[in-house]
Each structure stands twice: as C-alpha cells, then as structure tokens.
Chains A and B, each alone.
Chain A
C-alpha cells in the first residue's frame, strides 16, 4: 500500500463535492474486496480513497411504483441473497449467493462489482441481460445509463471521474417471464471462465416475444448475442436449442478466431451454458420457482 488521503463523507452531497475536487485521483471504497487487495499489492496508487461507508441509504433494496427493483449500490451480496426477492428477481439473489466465498459475499457490493467491471465477474453479465439501468450521481446531477452502455467494450466503464454509482434499477417482474444465469468456474470460489445470462419475455401461451442473452468472460465487456432472438415467435416446444446454442457461441466467438485452447474451451462452454439455460427456461413450466415459461 502507498500513502493516500482517506475521504469519509457522511452525506451524498459531501461525497459529490469531494469527487468533483479529487475524483480523477481518487478510488471509491465500497466493500473493498477488489480495491483493498490491489492497494496492498501497490497495483493501484490513488492519492485519495473515498469511503462510501458513512453515506446513508446506499444499501437499500426497494420496489418503486412501477414495480422496478431499486438496489442500492452498496448492497452486499449477502443482503441480496437474503432479500427474498420474488419472480425472476430471485435470480439476482441466486447469482449473489453463488459467487466468491462467504466472507467476500458479506463485504462485496453489487455496485462495486459493476464499477470494477472485471470480465470474469457475474454481475456485469446479469445486468446487461436483464437490461438494468445504473444511476450515476455527481455534483452536476444524476444520469441514468443502461448496463449495456455502462460497460465499455474494451473493458472498464463509462463512469466519469467525478461520478459515483448510487443504485442499480432492474425492470419490474412483469418485464420478463424468465431470467436465468449460469456460469463455469473450475473451483467453487473461482471467478467464472464464462458466464451467460438470458432474459425472455413471453405471451401467456409461452410464445417468446423478446429474448436477450449476454455472455461474459470472453471480451472486455459482456457480449450480447443476437442469435438468441431466433426464439422470438416460438414456444419452447418449437425451439431448436442445439442450433440456437451453436449460433450464440459462433456469434460471440467465431470458429475461425479461436487461437488458443482456452478460447476453444470457452466457445464450447458458451454452447453448454446456453443449452442449460434454454432447458431451464423451457422446463420452467413445471418449476415456477425457477421462473420458467
């Protein structure tokens, strides 16, 4: 660790003001699960570290009038997994419950994961597939950015130097009939080698009206696969799952570009994970807890 000045605002206004003064040289400390190890290794050397710990109201989970789920950026994974979220929102809790290890889940925050934007993290992929919107606050006001915009294709985020993510808004439960997330990791505490998240909207008879699928771990930001839109207009019985999974994989990782065995493996995993999600979605009719069609 190298010396830095600790900034500990107690109101969001103070935080905004400090960020406008020092943001370019500052790092924001939430749960510290990415930042603190990097500080210890001297991998980052900020002049200022601004702690969110003293700010009120950043760790709430609420449903707004439209039914959208508003998750405070400083919500920990442990909070999310215990929140008892219903419908497809429960998938957010399942993702939170199944990453890293217990001590990390107790400290790490969903906003921290979004800002870290590590390609192997689960949160970015889920946010992109579910069309979550992030609220970015600065002294100039609050702007809202869709997750697919927030994550920069080359890696990192489009967060400005003076901005802080204050909350993440997930669409209402009525927006999708199914949201599923799956990933591959070697050991249970490892970050994912590949993760896939899919959201489906459907008519009452199960006919898909909108489909969206994001793949994480293979590029600087989660990649959307348009091939999943082939589901639109068909009910699960009419899906050619194998063909769609292959098309998703080949769109995200074209066969001619797989220069390493790791990439070949990832391409195979995208197929397998997509197939697993399609199976879950189509079998969900009998497993409502999974939010199927």
Chain B
C-alpha cells in the first residue's frame, strides 16, 4: 500500500468503485501482444511516405515526374493534384470561417516538415527511394521564430492568402477578458507585482507514433481508417468533410494507442493522404510517421509570452490580474486559440479574483504547429501566476503559503460562483495546501534551508472536461449490451490510451448491474459500432464518459429487473442486482442469473413481460451542464474542478547548475476516485510531463527555423532515471456535486503546478527567479555566476542578463493589439 492509499487486495463483497482494480489493459501491454498502428498489416497493403519541406518558410515548385517511374511506385500526390478537390480543414475546432489546413502545401510552406508530396509504393524503401527522385525548387523567405517578433509590422507574413476574421498580420485570433474594474483595482492596490514570463514548446512524445492505415472498399464505398487517435468522431467528421464523403461511409478504428497527451486529438495531413491514395488505388495504404516527422509536424505545446501584473492588498488579498499574452501557435494550429481561452479561464483558479483584464494575441510563426497538450494552457498561466504570488509574498512580508491561504477557494465556500464565472461545486484545495505545507516540512525548510536548498509550492485547479468556446458541446456516450451468456460489452468512441477505460468502466458497470467485473469487456473503438462521443482528452474520461456509462448501466439494470420481476411475479422495487443475477432483496444467493434473463430476451421471448422490447442494449449520452463562454470571457466552462497543491524541495549544485528534486509532495482533490491505482498513475505521468516542461523540454530552432533537437537522443524529455521517488501523493476527496458519481478529472492535475512549484523552490534556494522555461542547468549556472558578479540577492533569469534578447522592463512591454479600446498601459 502506498501513501496514496491504494491497496493490493480487492474486496469483492464491496463496491468496486473506489478500489484499485489491477488494469485489464496491462497484460497485453506488458507482454507485447497489444497491436499498435504499425502492427497492422492488411492484404495487398501498400506503403506511403511523405516528402517534407526542409525549409521553414519558402515558396516552391515541385516536379514529381521521375518519381512516378521508380520501381514499385503506385502513386504520387502533390498539392496541385488535390487543389479544389479536397477541402481544407481546421475551421470547426477553432471556430474559424475557413479551414487553413491542407494535406499538402500548394506553393508555399510555413514550417519545416510541411507536406510537399507523397509516394505510395510496394515497400517503404521503394517509397523512400521515390521521394529522392522528386525535384523541388525552393525560394527561401525570411523566417520568424519568435511570436513577439511575428507581431511586429515588418515581420514576414506567413498566411497572406487566408482571411482570419479577427486576425491581423500573423495574428490569427485574439482573446480578451474584461471582468470587474481593473483600473480601480490597480489604483487601490497596496502591492503590485509584474513580470514577463515565457514558456516553452513541448512535445506529446507519445512512444506510439502518429500513423494510420487507410483501406477503401471500392464496392461498398466505405473508407476505413485505422489510426492512432484519441477521438474517433472528430477524425471521422473532419475526414468525411475534407473528402466530401457521406459520414456513414467513413469508418474510423483505433488500434491500441500508445498515448497521445492531446497530440492525437485532431486530424492530420497523413490521415488524409493515406485515405486519398487508398481511394485512388482501392488498396490499403500504410503511412506511419517517424519520430523526426512527429516532432516537426505532430503539434507541440503553444509557447506563451505573458506580461502579467497582479494587484494585492496588504493583508494578502489578490484584487486584480492583468495580462497581455502573445501565444506562439506555430506555422498552423488546430487548437491554439482554444488553449488560450480555456487555459486562461480555468488556470486563474483557485483564486476568485474580482478584477481580471486579459488580452491575448494568438500568433503564427515558422515553427511546429501548436496543439493540445496535457494541461491545455494551464501549465503556462500557472507558471506565471504562482511565481507572482511568491514575488508578492516577499513584498508583503508574508509567507507564500499564507498568501495562498488568504485567497484560495475553500471547501466551506462551495458551491461558489467566482467573478470569472466558474461554478466551483466542491473543492478541498485549501486542505491540499495545508497538507502539502505539513508534508514537505515547509516551516523549517522555509526558515532555515541548507545551502542551495529551497522549498516552493504552487496551487492549481484543473478543468474536468470543457465546453470549448469554439463548439458548443461537451458530451460522451456509452452503449451497453447484455450478451446472451450474461457478459456485458461496452461500446464507446472515447479511445482509451492510458486512462484504463476497460478497467474503470467495468468497475462502474459491475457495481450498477451486479455483473462480475471479469464479465465486462470494452469493445475496440470503432465508429461504425460506437455511439457518438467527442473523444478522450481534457481529463474527461472518468467524469463524463464514466457518467454516461453509469446512466447506461442504470438503464440496463431497469430492463433486467423488469424481466425478472415478470418471471418471478415480484414487484420491481423488491428486487436487487448482484452476483451476476437479479434477486429478491435479502436473498442474494438465489434469484435469476443475468445469463438467463439475457437468454429470455434473445431466445425465449415469450418469457418477457407483455410488450417488452427484447433488446438488452442501452445507450446513454452525457452532456455536461456547462456554459458557453460569455463575451467578457467569463463563464463556467467546466462541469467540476479538480485541484491540488504541489510542493517541491530542491537542491541546486553550484558547480554545475543542476537542479535536483529532493522531495516532491502532491496533494490532490480528484473527487470520488473510481480506481486509485489509475489515478495515481495519471498523477505520476502528469508530474513527469510537468518536470519535462519545467526542466528540460523545448523545441530548439536555429534562425532559419530548423528544429535542432528532433530526436529522442537530443530532445530533453525526462527519463525514469531523472525522476525523484514519487511516494508522497495524497488525495483529499471533495466529491463533485454535479457529476453523479462525484468524480473529477485526474489526467492533467499533476502537470499544471509543477513548473511554478519548482521555480519557486529554485528562487528560494538561490535567489534566482527563472522567467523563462525550461529551467536548465545551463541557465541556472549562468544566472548564479552573473548574480554573484553583481552581488545582488535576487536575480531574474534571463530578463536581467545583459545579452538578453527581448523586452524585459515593464516600460518595454508591447501594447496589446487585441483591443483598440485597451487601457492596458
């Protein structure tokens, strides 16, 4: 038993929800029998490869004629071949007027790796050989890597032929929040802290690559796409729309998906390319990307520059938050504007700040596309906001923990509507704070840290699924079928890729229906059989999919009870379910087996109640009772809010700058936990991605826009050997009042607070406050040396470095372009 509280033994006499059922999924994963996308082989399958631009910004002409004659080649495609026939996409997810994504660049690329042409051949190697026969003439254009430079008037323009409704130059969308009276808050403030913080680009880095196998049946006209994705129906609908096929003629199947973290929550060019080849040739087409391709075109976390100000009263109360954000969403983005909306709206929690004023410019640069990634904007704002709280605490002469305690939403306040519009139905984040202070040994370490050691903390709240401002839905669905032998099949289009759907959904079904856990199976995700749902992202599986599953199970339970009541001539209210049967309450060893009841429904229908429709299938869709974003940026976008407090104890090596995490405490409110084992795994994985963002990962570009570290050997994702021992995880449940089972999202709460917790600890340990991510040994050592040269106690890195490239004084902050009426400066 770990301190997170999960036990190795399962008590079968109790409800399974709340117990650490070992994951049904793990045997296949651990024994190598799971089938991932690259394991799929279909009869007659051909292999496609993509020619990608080596330049980040260039116009080009392409000549593929030689490639067509290469051995084994069945087809070659370029942008010219599909122009006007294949519809661009990307409009729906970002609520844009037109799609800005296309399978191939037509005559201009805006980021390295963008698709120029593709070849399909008998073998991968023949396809690669043929790519080398393609001749491309590039005319290089000036490149812009930095979002701050991309908004300048003289910046090279990326998408000169696309009209973005709210765009201007390289700004393709804008964001603003106007809540309360920020000027009054500023005038009334006792302490104002302000700082420019930047955050890095981070990869999903799922080990299972992006890829697909498209298989078109020319007789039925059905296009089947096997693809490594988090969402069947978003892919199906986007693909059908792009290819202008009827949606019942497009079938999307996900094999085992070796994680996504948000990076597989959208349609990609390779899926369209493989589909077109398969439709042209009537043969299955395999197209799986290499790691170098995934880094360059597989979406990265959106980098942000935040110019944040926070206003405090001398008792520590936060009265205002003002921010101007420039977000780097790369050469094209599929989710970038939503990241800024949702990340900022939710990320400002757990403080009910009365006056909030935000402007954001969402910007294209000649870098990798910005996408969804674990935390969806929240780690970026948390990095800035939680460090400013520490900076304010110093000016206020207060303990940083005390400043947080003054401001945090408490369990007793809930349910509460914040000025930003969030309806926080329940929380224990205040108790998480107190527990973290205790577990990390805050008082002693804060007052008397050993040399080069320090402690820091960060508070965060996290959405549990979300009603995206760009589309007005937040639903998931489950269909259940009681099979004729008393087993149960779950159908869902929300693809499990680490969340343990086969396990935790079976726990719910087992509890509600009384069927044995081992008798419940999750069908492979297939859009032709699964009910419509949005997919697995945004920490939504346990709360949203789990609720749909509970509803479907309750409906199924009503049906089996109705049949049993008829056969037993009993009142339904006298019956109960359990032990794989329906029984008269109190007589659980007797009763009718679900197997028999299912048999009546299938093979002995005269046993059924008069007029009873024989089918033992039920379907339920749960759409969260969330709100649309209001014009002022407020609104309750999330059905409930997970939260937590992280505390880090670090030591900095003054000889090398290496930051070592000596101890790390995570105290979370995940509401009612269905499976503590899975939730602990989610928190550990979330923490790992947080550490990667905090201390190593970034997309490193040269000034021509070439990514220099697009391999796992160079890209600084943390390894198991770099992890501290994570045995200080605690749950303080505050069950959601909105979600019927009380659960909250777990997948991303582990990520959000990590950067700021470590940043605050590093500042405590050394007096160096990082303003840019990641916090590397390189930055640490140079900052320590510069700080000692100057003989100062506090030093901001890199903003205080003499050769720093970019605005760093408050007076130099750019004016937001987002709002003409801005009173920002």
Residues of A within 8 A of B (CB): 1, 42, 184, 186-191, 261-262, 264-265, 268-269, 272, 275-276
A268: contacting residue among B713, B721, B776, B782, CB under 8 A = B782
Interface residues of B in 687-724 (CB under 8 A from A): 696, 713, 716, 718-719, 721-722
Q: Please state if A187 and B782 are interface contacts (CB–CB under 8 Å).
A: no
B762 to chain A, nearest CB (A): 16
A276–B721 alpha-carbon span in the complex (Å): 23
Q: Please state if A269 and B656 are interface contacts (CB–CB under 8 Å).
A: yes
A190–B719 alpha-carbon span in the complex (Å): 10
- Given A261-B778, A276-B655, is A268 in contact with B785 using a C-beta cutoff of 8 Å? yes
- Given A261-B778, A269-B656, A272-B656, is A189 in contact with B721 using a C-beta cutoff of 8 Å? yes
B128: contacting residue among A42, A184, A275, CB under 8 A = A42
Q: Please state if A265 and B782 are interface contacts (CB–CB under 8 Å).
A: yes
B719: contacting residue among A1, A42, A188, A265, CB under 8 A = A188
**CB of B781 within 8 A of chain A?**
yes
What residues on A are CB-neighbors of B785 within 8 Å? 268
**CB of B125 within 8 A of chain A?**
yes
What residues on A are CB-neighbors of B718 within 8 Å? 187
Q: Please state if B781 and A268 are interface contacts (CB–CB under 8 Å).
A: yes
**CB of B777 within 8 A of chain A?**
yes
B721: contacting residue among A42, A187, A262, A265, CB under 8 A = A187
Interface residues of B in 642-691 (CB under 8 A from A): 655-657
A210–B128 alpha-carbon span in the complex (Å): 55
A191–B716 alpha-carbon span in the complex (Å): 12
B722: contacting residue among A42, A188, A262, A268, CB under 8 A = A188
Q: Please state if B719 and A186 are interface contacts (CB–CB under 8 Å).
A: no
A190–B776 alpha-carbon span in the complex (Å): 14
- Given A268-B785, A269-B656, A272-B655, is A187 in contact with B778 using a C-beta cutoff of 8 Å? no
B711 to chain A, nearest CB (A): 9
Q: Please state if A264 and B719 are interface contacts (CB–CB under 8 Å).
A: no
Q: Please state if A187 and B719 are interface contacts (CB–CB under 8 Å).
A: yes
A to B CB contacts below 8 Å, 8 in the list: A1-B125, A184-B777, A186-B716, A186-B776, A187-B718, A188-B722, A262-B778, A265-B781
What residues on B are CB-neighbors of A1 within 8 Å? 125
What residues on B are CB-neighbors of A190 within 8 Å? 713
Interface residues of B in 88-129 (CB under 8 A from A): 125, 128
What residues on A are CB-neighbors of B716 within 8 Å? 186-187
A190–B778 alpha-carbon span in the complex (Å): 15
A17 to chain B, nearest CB (A): 31
A264–B802 alpha-carbon span in the complex (Å): 13
Beyond A189-B719, A265-B777, A268-B657, 16 additional contacts (C-beta under 8 Å) are A1-B125, A42-B128, A184-B777, A186-B716, A187-B696, A187-B716, A187-B718, A188-B719, A188-B722, A189-B721, A261-B778, A265-B778, A265-B782, A268-B782, A269-B781, A272-B655
B782 to chain A, nearest CB (A): 6
Q: Which residue of A lies closest to B803 (CB)?
A: A261
A256–B822 alpha-carbon span in the complex (Å): 45
What residues on A are CB-neighbors of B656 within 8 Å? 184, 269, 272
A272–B696 alpha-carbon span in the complex (Å): 21
What residues on A are CB-neighbors of B125 within 8 Å? 1
Q: Please state if A188 and B721 are interface contacts (CB–CB under 8 Å).
A: yes
A231 to chain B, nearest CB (A): 20
Minimum-distance CB pairs A-B, first 9: A272-B655, A265-B778, A188-B721, A268-B781, A187-B719, A184-B656, A272-B656, A187-B722, A264-B782
A187–B778 alpha-carbon span in the complex (Å): 13
What residues on B are CB-neighbors of A42 within 8 Å? 128
Interface residues of B in 739-789 (CB under 8 A from A): 776-779, 781-782, 785
What residues on B are CB-neighbors of A264 within 8 Å? 782
A42–B125 alpha-carbon span in the complex (Å): 11
A202 to chain B, nearest CB (A): 25
A191–B711 alpha-carbon span in the complex (Å): 14
What residues on A are CB-neighbors of B776 within 8 Å? 186
A190–B125 alpha-carbon span in the complex (Å): 30
A191–B782 alpha-carbon span in the complex (Å): 21
A188–B696 alpha-carbon span in the complex (Å): 13
A110 to chain B, nearest CB (A): 20
Q: Please state if B696 and A186 are interface contacts (CB–CB under 8 Å).
A: yes
Q: Please state if A261 and B782 are interface contacts (CB–CB under 8 Å).
A: yes
Which residue, of B713, B778, B782, B785, has the highest number of chain A Cβ atoms within 10 A? B778
Q: Which residue of A lies closest to B128 (CB)?
A: A42
A172 to chain B, nearest CB (A): 33
What residues on B are CB-neighbors of A262 within 8 Å? 778
A186–B655 alpha-carbon span in the complex (Å): 14
A190–B712 alpha-carbon span in the complex (Å): 10
A62–B475 alpha-carbon span in the complex (Å): 70
A205 to chain B, nearest CB (A): 30
What residues on B are CB-neighbors of A187 within 8 Å? 696, 716, 718-719, 721-722
Q: Mark B173-202, 1 if CB is under 8 A from A, else 0.
A: 000000000000000000000000000000
What residues on B are CB-neighbors of A191 within 8 Å? 713
A215 to chain B, nearest CB (A): 15
Q: Which residue of A lies closest to B655 (CB)?
A: A272
What residues on B are CB-neighbors of A184 within 8 Å? 656, 777
Interface residues of B in 392-450 (CB under 8 A from A): none
B372 to chain A, nearest CB (A): 26
Q: Which residue of A lies closest to B653 (CB)?
A: A272
A42–B128 alpha-carbon span in the complex (Å): 10
A184–B778 alpha-carbon span in the complex (Å): 11
Q: Which residue of B lies closest to A184 (CB)?
A: B656
Q: Which residue of A lies closest to B720 (CB)?
A: A188
Q: Which residue of B lies closest to A1 (CB)?
A: B125
B714 to chain A, nearest CB (A): 9
B688 to chain A, nearest CB (A): 13
Q: Which residue of B lies closest to A276 (CB)?
A: B655
A265–B782 alpha-carbon span in the complex (Å): 6
What residues on A are CB-neighbors of B719 within 8 Å? 187-189
What residues on B are CB-neighbors of A265 within 8 Å? 657, 777-778, 781-782
A9–B778 alpha-carbon span in the complex (Å): 47
What residues on B are CB-neighbors of A269 within 8 Å? 656, 781
Q: Please state if A186 and B782 are interface contacts (CB–CB under 8 Å).
A: no
A201 to chain B, nearest CB (A): 27
A276–B782 alpha-carbon span in the complex (Å): 19
A11–B716 alpha-carbon span in the complex (Å): 43
Which residue, of A42, A184, A190, A262, has the highest number of chain B Cβ atoms within 10 A? A184
A189–B716 alpha-carbon span in the complex (Å): 11
A31–B98 alpha-carbon span in the complex (Å): 53
